[in-house]
A and B are shown apart, each in its own frame.
Chain A
Amino acid sequence: MPTIASAAHALGDVTASDSMLRRFLHGLPGVDAVGLEARAASLGTRSIKTTAKAYAIDLAISMVDLTTLEGADTPGKVRALGAKAVHPDPTDRTTPTTAAVCVYPDMVAVAKEAVAGSGVKVASVATAFPAGRAALDVKLADVRDAVAAGADEIDMVIDRGAFLAGHYMKVYDEIVAVKEASGAARLKVIFETGELSTYDNIRRASWLGMLAGADFIKTSTGKVAVNATPANTLLMLEAVRDFRAQTGIQVGVKPAGGIRTTKDAIKFLVLVNETAGEDWLDNHWFRFGASSLLNDLLMQRQKLATGRYSGPDYVTVD
């Protein structure tokens, strides 16, 4: 696998200074907003039925990062979530496990225990999630804490204030520092696309994150009004595709927030297949950050298996 050093090499030394980084990011081609949204909408009209639908549902289940990020999270709730991640549908053991459970750092140990031995990963948000408004030391301590508790993946938020103010190097350095603190844990970088205002900014943030060594780029925290949309996810998928073409490094994508139905999830899978390609159709490279989505996927799965429409009485209440 090529290293970060070779990424910088392939692109020239664009991260050598603040001005070079700025020149590179502002030199990225502008986004055709109308075309992007039209493309995302047209890819959302594909009809996925029968066996293809069954495949898509199982794939989507295996890509879910089952998430609970509430102030009211209790160890009991996290254990219940872990049990659900391991056996999403206890009445049908052929159901795949979800990719991971996603919790706050102080719940990592509980989650780790709940999914032990199942292959389900534990992801932890860190770096003063969701606002990211804290000193770097505090953010790094947050990350180290999560890693020490056993987190397999770290979901960090970028400093949107610094990004919007144009201090790209500061954002870059912060991601690099968090990547280092994460150690072996895979790093997902959350841009909070709903706060970046423009598609151009989302493209710049994507490249910035990938240059800094993100293993995943993630749309949102799920805590603001606008979360993952087909258009902004399509844009990020284009970015990871282009990044791999230029550097040979593959980066994952995780849309999060607002994806609630099987239909939506399948639309995203179509985007992945048509944009980044089949290599990304795997839970190592694509994830859904969601909580209620899983229940709808399970109900659709039951419908396909039995021919009867299922209902919310037949899935767990989380």
Chain B
Amino acid sequence: MSEKSEKIERLSVFKTYKLYVGGKFPRSESGRVYEVTDSKSNWLANAPLASRKDARDAVVAARKAFGGWSGATAYNRGQILYRIAEMLEGRKDQFVREVADAEGLSKSKAAAVVDAAIDRWVWYAGWTDKIAQVVGGGNPVAGPFFNLSTPEPTGVVVVLAPQESSFLGLVSVIAPVIATGNTAIVVASEKSPLPALSLGEVLATSDLPGGVVNVLSGRTAEIAAPLAAHQDVNAIDLAGADDVLAKELEIAAADNLKRVLRPQPVDYSATPGIERLTAFLETKTVWHPTGSLGASGSSY
């Protein structure tokens, strides 16, 4: 039909990938971007190339968010983590496409990865109000005291996301950090940052307070160095650092005694266990005297 042949082709609308810092979506302060390609080196998009000042801003945002997030009830945190899974479910197609491009997977394999990542949020959502019972509790002591241990979040945690597993690996390192009440600065996979930057959009619409998770993309070594040395960061997960970088960062992190989780081979498709949950928890132990109440000497 003549009508059809005259139809104007729609202009493509490209997405501008941006950082996610303090609940907002800024471009890099430096104004820089870098080209992100798929596994066959075809151009996908430009991603922001974050600078150390973006990293600094992210720490400020994460510190600001820490009080509210760590003070929220574990039950509330669990609901919000579950909400993230709900939101991801609704945008599954986008993530399947991004993961397929990033990791060179077939559509069905990418879909399986995204499903596993969504399930991972649900898994950690369930842990938020149970971890205290597993790693804390009343300790038996020989004396007129209660002795109670409770886990508390470490604080602001820098997470270097795994370089290869751009989405399932990413979720597997972020979720345990925030499940326990920490706030996170995530340095996305250098080669495949797009799923991480899109995850920021999901987090922003999941009732997660701004600043609890901050996503930076760029050169891992460039962003990680000032973060590892930052005096207001309490811990660092080196999952996405190679051996040389990990060593350097660990030395820098020693200055203010940051907790360091060294890189280790992980199968992200397997059920995670609670190692990552407990890696960024501190144990607070309190003693409370129980005086004797009667002539019998009973202490209760």
Contact = CB atoms under 8 A, between A and B. Distances in A.
B232 interface: yes
A310 B229 CA distance: 9
Indicate the size class of the contact surface on chain B: 10 to 19
Most buried by B among A302, A313, A314: A313
B63 interface: yes
B226 A309 contact: yes
Interface string A306-318: 0111111110000
A314 B233 CA distance: 12
A292 to B, nearest CB: 14
B185 to A, nearest CB: 12
A309 B59 contact: yes
B231 interface: yes
B231 A314 contact: yes
Interface string A259-300: 000000000000000000000000000000000000000000
A308 B229 contact: yes
B56 interface: yes
A227 B54 CA distance: 29
Interface SS of chain B: helix
Nearest to B52: A309
Contacts of A307: 229
Interface string B51-92: 000001001000100000000000000000000000000000
A309 B229 contact: yes
A301 to B, nearest CB: 13
B229 A311 contact: no
Nearest to A302: B231
Most buried by B among A302, A309, A312, A314: A309
Contacts of B219: none
B255 interface: yes
Nearest to B231: A311
A215 B173 CA distance: 60
A76 B56 CA distance: 34
B230 interface: yes
A307 B63 CA distance: 20
Contacts of B230: 308-309, 311
B229 A312 contact: no
Contacts of A313: 231-232
A299 to B, nearest CB: 9
A307 B225 CA distance: 11
A216 to B, nearest CB: 33
A313 B255 CA distance: 14
A313 B230 CA distance: 12
Interface string A67-84: 000000000000000000
B255 A308 contact: yes
Contacts of B231: 302, 308-311, 313-314
Contacts of B229: 307-309
Nearest to A310: B231
Interface in B233-283: 233, 255
Most buried by A among B231, B233, B255: B231
B228 to A, nearest CB: 9
A302 B255 CA distance: 14
Contacts of A308: 226, 229-231, 255
B179 to A, nearest CB: 24
Most buried by B among A307, A311, A314: A311
A310 B63 CA distance: 13
A32 to B, nearest CB: 32
A178 B205 CA distance: 58
A300 to B, nearest CB: 11
B68 to A, nearest CB: 16
Contacts of A302: 231
Nearest to B226: A309
A309 B63 CA distance: 13
Interface string B210-233: 000000000000000010011111
A210 to B, nearest CB: 40
Contacts of A310: 231-232
B233 to A, nearest CB: 8
A308 B59 CA distance: 13
Nearest to A311: B232
A302 B229 CA distance: 13
Contacts of A311: 59, 63, 230-233
Contacts of B63: 311-312
A310 B59 CA distance: 11
Interface in A126-144: none
A297 B117 CA distance: 43
Nearest to A309: B230
Interface of B: 56, 59, 63, 226, 229-233, 255
Interface of A: 302, 307-314
Given A310-B231, A314-B231, 7 more contacts: A307-B229, A309-B59, A309-B229, A310-B232, A311-B231, A312-B63, A313-B232
21 contacts: A302-B231, A307-B229, A308-B229, A308-B231, A308-B255, A309-B56, A309-B229, A309-B230, A309-B231, A309-B232, A310-B232, A311-B59, A311-B63, A311-B230, A311-B231, A311-B232, A311-B233, A312-B63, A312-B232, A313-B231, A314-B231
Give 8 closest A-B pairs by Cβ, nearest first: A311-B232, A308-B229, A311-B231, A309-B230, A310-B231, A309-B56, A308-B231, A314-B231
